[in-house]
């Protein structure tokens, strides 16, 4: 599985503190897919990574899911990841799904909550206390 996510087998002998952030994410993916699951959950899979390594992780998520025939559910605020890996998108606000649709629908929506979030605007219906 380590080879499948682009790592050498000897990585298995290293401690987590000896791995880069990208390596840690790939080891996590290897651990997630080793049992051939039908559904894989990802929680912020690209957080803390530079944009290039984030794209590598996104590609690995896509390849792994297709290879396994698995469904993936990803929780993220990384809009580049959403646009690359998602078939369908749902936006949660105050514990409720307030919008759902495809990536194309997300990019064209006039829903003020979605527009504010995907564009990272401080002004809008979502109020942030500072």
CATH architecture of 3-86: 3-Layer(aba) Sandwich (3.40)
How confident is the model over 110-121, as pLDDT tens digits? 999 999 999 999
**Taking 90 as the threshold, does the pLDDT of residue 58 lie above it?**
yes
Tell me the two tokens of residue 73: 């559910």
Instruction: Give the per-residue pLDDT at 110.
Output: 97
**CA–CA separation, 46 and 121 (whole Å):** 21
- Domain positions in the chain: 3-86, 96-130
Of 50, 72, 53, whose CA–CA distance to 62 is shortest?
A: 72
> What was the pLDDT predicted at 42?
94
């Amino acid at each position: 599985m380590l080879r499948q996510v682009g790592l050498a087998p000897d990585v298995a002998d290293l401690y987590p503190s000896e791995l880069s952030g990208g390596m840690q994410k790939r080891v996590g993916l290897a651990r997630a897919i080793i049992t051939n699951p039908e559904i894989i959950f990802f929680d912020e899979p690209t957080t803390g990574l530079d944009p290039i390594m984030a794209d590598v992780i996104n590609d690995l998520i896509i390849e792994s899911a297709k290879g396994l025939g698995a469904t993936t559910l990803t929780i993220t605020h990384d809009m580049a990841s959403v646009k690359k890996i998602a078939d369908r998108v749902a936006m949660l606000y105050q514990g409720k799904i307030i919008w759902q649709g495809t990536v194309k629908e997300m990019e064209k929506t006039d829903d003020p909550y979605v527009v504010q979030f995907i564009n990272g605007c401080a002004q809008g219906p979502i109020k942030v206390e500072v």
